[in-house]
């Protein structure tokens, strides 16, 4: 594949041929009309910083939805940064359930944008094919198919013969199957952005450029002063959509957004006779083992690789010194050697590439977050500061994220859950070193097999390890949870300790079964330190929690499980609420929800004018869980406080000493068995753990991890709703939902499989049609069958109803059962006292 003098300059002659018309338009847009500046506003409802496709899409959607005074400020010209040089791929596919909705909306918007705005967008939809050349890839395709059946997206597994028919230039020697998405394709990023800009202006938004933001000053009332060379603008909210300048914008207000600029290259060929002779456009191709994408570009081909983390290039100078002030529509020097193994793979798969000339190699900056997903939404700790940053795939995300954020801003809540994009999933533990290590890994892993329960190990451990990390790390397989290392499962001598991901049952299946029996029959200990933990106190603390939670506030010395709802009645979060002393509470949430939930609590406290002190004590407190029929006997050896059932009741909380170590003990366990959670200073975790393990030798005490806890918890089918609480957020919406009646219900299913178990998000079939989806699943070691929770139509929700669950391309018979499968220990204890049946 000979190269014809590739150039890194966007103004090279060949590049001008490729982008000729578009780049000439860009030159005309470089100096905005004076009317834009003359329409400068002193005040705005929303100021969007950044004129790439993401920021312009948000301006379009806000203005179209009716928001007045939407202003976008761009430092140089629209599309400068990463948008203008993007390859422009669009796909319905995403392994994440919720991001499929973002992709779907984007494509549907792009299909009608030209008609709406009168601007040509250059949208091609020849479809796309992901290529499987190994059996495990075929399993991955089957795994993804069951997660698509209950979505609107079309997706099919196709045979090699069909692949060759659709893409006749392929070498078919290794191809086993393809994952085909009709409607996928590519769009011209510049034209897309200009169409969105035309729409934004049409609906009343003001786009001002060049207008670099030089300073952001928060005001006491929650508004912002936005400083530019043109003057100052007062904004009710600001949205950072500044692409690879987002770090600089964040630093203006003291935030360190975990973003890394990386170099991404793609190659454009000259005309290829075999391509020119085709009667229809080739589908976009993704060779997952070769780690590259390839599409038709006029009568030639365009292909871009994702090289390994060892070979990929981070723009280190930008990390250390910031983005060069004048950088806008420039490119980096190309480096063909760095991607040569992928070029060879492409030529092997598409042999006509071997005799094609390279007319350009584009090497431009894109921005990566540690986990490759963008950060979208309001930021914790800073009022009315929103972000839409970290987009490695901004073109396909632009439409959907613009709509998603617009709905959230206008209606006070997101239209659906996208917690995986929450900017608050990162924290102080996300250092630059960690971010760079993860960005390298994420880039290099772009096309690796996406297994369930996947773990990635770069940048670990962070500074956020529990006091037990050194004690347990050689005994277990750790999982990563919001910066923490937490045991997933423990191995014994002679057992395979390795990380062995699979779509089938793997090396942890038997050890987890042993841990399950450990808790059910004896006593187990688990490290729960990653829980998010908040102290709330003050004269308005009860008023605030009454407003936040759809449950009654527990009495002093008691705990309950409560839910925060959105105004539309959706569950925003589930927390454990413990009333420790009059007006002082400990709130506990899942590790991945820590700052997500804290932001909501803080925001509602401000809105309500509540006189409260809210303190995040997540890093200060360690948590040990102890559970099983002998847990009381073991703990009683270490404390003088009476732990008997009549004195220390279920859902009570007390301060006591265990082995002379102060703890806050809550009688609760997510296993559903007799147990306590012991909250203590993080630095004494190892001493507390050693004392408990030594005291429990006679009872056969041992460790268990989160996999076993999940199996135990699902069997208990936990529900915890209050009776008639105060006027909480979402109460009226719930009443309306109840009055209208439900269309579907959450049911518990059992199913007999072979060596595969449900994880959640699988399709539910009935009478040859997809009728619902699972929400979670596991293997039940009690009944030795798979267990899943699923949403199904009300008419299919009765106990005994037969349905099917799709797993790896096969439908397994399932039946709706009476839940819970196993009664919780407190319920069994109560039934024993009243003479009831406790053997369910």
Mean of per-residue pLDDT scores for the chain: 92
At residue 288, does pLDDT exceed 60? Answer: yes
pLDDT at 39: 80
pLDDT tens-digit profile of 225-265?
999 999 999 999 999 999 999 999 999 999 999 999 999 99
Lowest mean pLDDT among 14-23, 326-335, 399-408, 421-430: 14-23
Is the Cβ–Cβ distance between 387 and 32 less than 8 Å?
no
- The token pair at 84 is 């203008």
Does any domain span residue 541? yes
Query: In this structure, are 637 and 734 located in the same domain?
Result: yes
pLDDT tens-digit profile of 442-451?
999 999 999 9
Confidence of residue 833 (pLDDT cuts 50, 70, 90): confident
pLDDT tens-digit profile of 105-141?
999 999 999 999 999 999 999 999 999 999 999 999 9
At residue 26, does pLDDT exceed 80? Answer: no
For residues 733 and 298, what is the distance between their CA atoms, to the nearest angstrom? 52
State mean pLDDT over 5-18: 31
State mean pLDDT over 703-726: 75
At residue 3, does pLDDT exceed 70? Answer: no
Q: Is the dihedral of CA 367, 368, 374, 376 positive or negative?
A: negative
159 phi and psi angles, rounded to 5 deg: -85, 160
Query: In this structure, are 588 and 642 located in the same domain?
Result: yes
At residue 188, does pLDDT exceed 70? Answer: yes
**Exposure class string for 289-309: b at 16+ Cβ within 10 A, else e:** bbbbbbbbbeebbbbbbbbbb
CATH of residue 234's domain is 3.50.50.60
Query: In this structure, are 506 and 404 located in the same domain?
Result: no
At residue 824, does pLDDT exceed 60? Answer: yes
At residue 514, does pLDDT exceed 80? Answer: yes
pLDDT at 4: 39
pLDDT at 840: 47
CATH of residue 767's domain is 2.40.30.110
pLDDT at 21: 24
The stretches of 508-630 forming alpha helices (DSSP H) are 509-521, 541-548, 594-607
pLDDT at 839: 53
Is the Cβ–Cβ distance between 803 and 792 less than 8 Å?
yes
Tell me which residue range forms the domain holding 542: 462-739
Last residue of a domain, one of 695, 719, 739: 739
Does any domain span residue 5? no
pLDDT tens-digit profile of 36-78?
434 889 999 999 999 999 999 999 999 999 999 999 999 999 9
H-helix or E-strand spanning residue 101: helix 97-117
Confidence of residue 25 (pLDDT cuts 50, 70, 90): very low
Query: In this structure, are 380 and 476 located in the same domain?
Result: no
Query: In this structure, are 806 and 680 located in the same domain?
Result: no
**Exposure class string for 498-507: b at 16+ Cβ within 10 A, else e:** eeeebbeebb
Strands 206-208 and 70-73: parallel
ω into residue 780 within 30 of 0, thus cis? no
Confidence of residue 603 (pLDDT cuts 50, 70, 90): very high
Q: Which residue has the tokens 């069994």?
A: 828
- Cα distances from 388 to residues 309, 314, 795, in angstroms, run 25, 21, 41
pLDDT at 1: 60
For residues 318 and 619, what is the distance between their CA atoms, to the nearest angstrom? 31
H-helix or E-strand spanning residue 57: helix 53-64
pLDDT at 536: 98
Question: For the chain, what is the largest distance between any 2 Cα atoms, rounded to a whole number of angstroms?
Answer: 89
The DSSP secondary-structure symbol of 362 reads: E
pLDDT at 730: 75
Does any domain span residue 339? no
pLDDT at 94: 95
Does any domain span residue 305? no
- Cα distances from 640 to residues 644, 657, 678, 681, 686, in angstroms, run 12, 8, 16, 20, 21
Query: In this structure, are 593 and 604 located in the same domain?
Result: yes
State mean pLDDT over 452-471: 96
Query: In this structure, are 491 and 564 located in the same domain?
Result: yes
pLDDT at 19: 29
pLDDT at 506: 97
Query: In this structure, are 527 and 484 located in the same domain?
Result: yes
Does any domain span residue 114? no
For residues 44 and 238, what is the distance between their CA atoms, to the nearest angstrom? 9
At residue 816, does pLDDT exceed 50? Answer: yes
pLDDT at 81: 93
Q: Give the number of domains in the chain.
A: 3
pLDDT tens-digit profile of 726-760?
566 777 877 777 778 889 999 999 999 999 999 99
Query: In this structure, are 208 and 78 located in the same domain?
Result: yes
Does any domain span residue 379? yes
452 alpha carbon, distance to own chain's centre: 14
At residue 633, does pLDDT exceed 90? Answer: yes
Residues 6+ apart with CB under 8 A from 721: 550, 551, 563
At residue 209, does pLDDT exceed 90? Answer: yes
Last residue of a domain, one of 701, 722, 739: 739
Q: Residues for the chain: how many in total?
A: 840
pLDDT at 837: 61
771 phi and psi angles, rounded to 5 deg: -120, -5
Is the Cβ–Cβ distance between 255 and 248 less than 8 Å?
no
At residue 11, does pLDDT exceed 90? Answer: no
Does any domain span residue 684? yes
Lowest mean pLDDT among 154-163, 669-678, 829-838: 829-838
For residues 754 and 745, what is the distance between their CA atoms, to the nearest angstrom? 27
State mean pLDDT over 432-458: 96
Strands 524-527 and 653-658: unpaired
State mean pLDDT over 397-404: 98
Last residue of a domain, one of 722, 739, 756: 739
For residues 711 and 787, what is the distance between their CA atoms, to the nearest angstrom? 9
pLDDT tens-digit profile of 582-597?
999 999 999 999 999 9
Confidence of residue 718 (pLDDT cuts 50, 70, 90): low
Query: In this structure, are 757 and 646 located in the same domain?
Result: no
pLDDT at 662: 98
Q: Which one is predicted more confidently, 416 or 26? A: 416
CATH of residue 595's domain is 3.30.1360.120
State mean pLDDT over 662-686: 97
Full DSSP string of 113-146:
HHHHHS----EE---EEEEE-SHHHHHHHHHHHH
Query: In this structure, are 385 and 500 located in the same domain?
Result: no
Is the Cβ–Cβ distance between 749 and 803 less than 8 Å?
yes
pLDDT at 829: 87
pLDDT at 724: 38
Query: In this structure, are 656 and 545 located in the same domain?
Result: yes
Residues 6+ apart with CB under 8 A from 527: 466, 468, 472, 486, 487, 622, 623, 624, 625, 685, 689
pLDDT tens-digit profile of 292-318?
999 999 999 999 999 999 999 999 999
Q: pTM here?
A: 0.93
Confidence of residue 13 (pLDDT cuts 50, 70, 90): very low
**Percent over 70 (pLDDT), the chain:** 93
Does any domain span residue 217? yes
At residue 838, does pLDDT exceed 70? Answer: no
């Amino acid at each position: 594949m000979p190269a014809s003098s590739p150039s890194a300059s966007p103004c090279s002659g060949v590049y001008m041929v490729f982008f000729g018309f578009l780049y000439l338009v860009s030159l005309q847009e470089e100096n905005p009309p004076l009317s834009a500046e003359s329409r400068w506003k002193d005040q705005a409802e929303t100021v969007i910083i950044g004129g790439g496709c993401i920021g312009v899409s948000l301006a379009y959607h806000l203005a179209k939805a009716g928001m007045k005074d939407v202003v976008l400020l761009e430092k140089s010209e629209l599309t400068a940064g990463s948008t203008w040089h993007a390859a422009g791929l669009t796909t319905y596919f995403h392994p994440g359930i919720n991001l499929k909705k973002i992709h779907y909306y984007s494509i549907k918007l792009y299909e009608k944008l030209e008609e709406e705005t009168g601007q040509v967008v250059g949208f091609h939809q020849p479809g796309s094919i992901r290529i499987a050349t190994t059996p495990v890839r075929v399993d991955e395709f089957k795994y993804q198919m069951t997660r698509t059946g209950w979505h609107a997206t079309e997706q099919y597994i196709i045979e090699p013969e069909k692949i060759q028919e659709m893409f006749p230039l392929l070498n078919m020697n290794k191809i086993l199957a393809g994952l085909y998405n009709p409607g996928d394709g590519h769009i011209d990023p510049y034209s897309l952005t200009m169409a969105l800009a035309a729409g934004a202006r049409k609906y009343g938004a003001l786009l001002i450029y060049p207008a670099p933001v030089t300073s952001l000053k928060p005001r006491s009332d929650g508004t912002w002063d936005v400083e530019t060379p043109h003057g100052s603008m007062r904004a009710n909210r600001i949205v950072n959509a500044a692409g690879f300048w987002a770090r600089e914008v964040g630093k203006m207000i003291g935030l360190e957004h975990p973003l890394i600029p990386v170099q991404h290259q793609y190659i454009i060929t000259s005309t290829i006779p075999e391509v020119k002779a085709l009667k229809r456009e080739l589908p976009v191709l993704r060779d997952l083992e070769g780690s590259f994408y390839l599409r038709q570009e006029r009568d030639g081909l365009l292909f871009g690789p994702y090289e390994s983390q060892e070979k990929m290039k981070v723009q280190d100078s930008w990390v250390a010194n910031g983005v060069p002030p004048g950088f806008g529509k420039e490119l980096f020097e190309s480096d063909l050697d760095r991607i040569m193994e992928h070029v060879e793979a492409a030529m092997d798969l598409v042999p006509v590439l071997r005799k094609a000339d390279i007319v350009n190699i584009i090497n431009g900056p894109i921005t990566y977050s540690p986990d490759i997903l963008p950060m979208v939404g309001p930021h914790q700790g800073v009022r009315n500061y929103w972000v839409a940053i970290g987009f490695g795939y901004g073109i396909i995300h632009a439409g959907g994220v613009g709509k998603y954020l617009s709905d959230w801003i206008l209606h006070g809540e997101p239209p659906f859950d996208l917690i995986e994009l929450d900017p608050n999933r990162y924290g102080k533990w996300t250092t630059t070193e960690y971010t760079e290590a993860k960005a390298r890994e994420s880039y290099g892993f772009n096309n690796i097999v996406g297994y369930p329960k996947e773990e990635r190990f770069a940048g670990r451990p962070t500074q956020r390890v529990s006091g037990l990390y050194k004690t347990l790390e050689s005994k277990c397989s750790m999982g990563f949870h919001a910066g923490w290392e937490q045991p997933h499962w423990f191995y014994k001598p002679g057992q395979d300790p390795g990380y062995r991901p699979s779509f089938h049952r793997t090396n942890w299946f038997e050890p987890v079964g042993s841990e399950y029996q450990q808790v059910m029959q004896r006593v187990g200990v688990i490290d729960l330190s990653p829980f998010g933990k908040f102290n709330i106190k003050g004269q308005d603390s009860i008023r605030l929690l009454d407003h936040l939670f759809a449950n009654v506030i527990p009495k002093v010395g008691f705990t309950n499980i409560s839910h925060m709802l959105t105004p539309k009645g959706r569950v925003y979060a589930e927390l454990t609420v413990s009333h420790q002393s009059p007006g002082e509470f400990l709130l506990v949430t899942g590790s991945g929800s820590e700052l997500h939930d804290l932001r909501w609590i803080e925001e509602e406290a401000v809105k309500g004018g509540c006189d409260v002190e809210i303190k995040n004590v997540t890093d200060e407190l360690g948590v040990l869980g102890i559970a099983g029929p002998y847990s009381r006997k073991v703990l009683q050896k270490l404390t003088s406080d009476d732990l008997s059932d009549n004195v220390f009741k279920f859902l009570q909380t007390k301060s006591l000493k265990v082995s002379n170590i102060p703890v806050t003990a809550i009688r609760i366990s997510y296993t559903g068995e007799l147990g306590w959670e012991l909250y203590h200073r993080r630095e004494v975790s190892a001493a507390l753990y050693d004392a408990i393990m030594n005291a429990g030798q006679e009872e056969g005490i041992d460790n268990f991890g989160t996999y076993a806890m999940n199996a135990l918890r699902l069997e208990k089918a936990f529900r915890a709703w209050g009776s008639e609480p105060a006027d909480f957020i979402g109460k009226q919406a719930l009443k309306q939902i109840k009055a209208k009646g439900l269309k579907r219900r959450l049911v518990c299913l059992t199913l007999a499989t072979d060596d595969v178990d449900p994880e959640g998000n699988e399709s539910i079939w009935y009478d040859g049609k997809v009728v619902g989806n699972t929400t979670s699943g596991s293997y039940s070691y009690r009944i030795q069958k798979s267990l899943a929770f699923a949403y199904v139509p009300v008419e299919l929700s009765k106990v005994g109803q037969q349905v099917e669950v799709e797993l790896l391309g096969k439908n397994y018979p399932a039946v709706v059962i009476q839940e819970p499968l196993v009664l919780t220990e407190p319920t069994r204890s109560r039934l024993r006292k009243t003479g009831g049946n406790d053997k369910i």
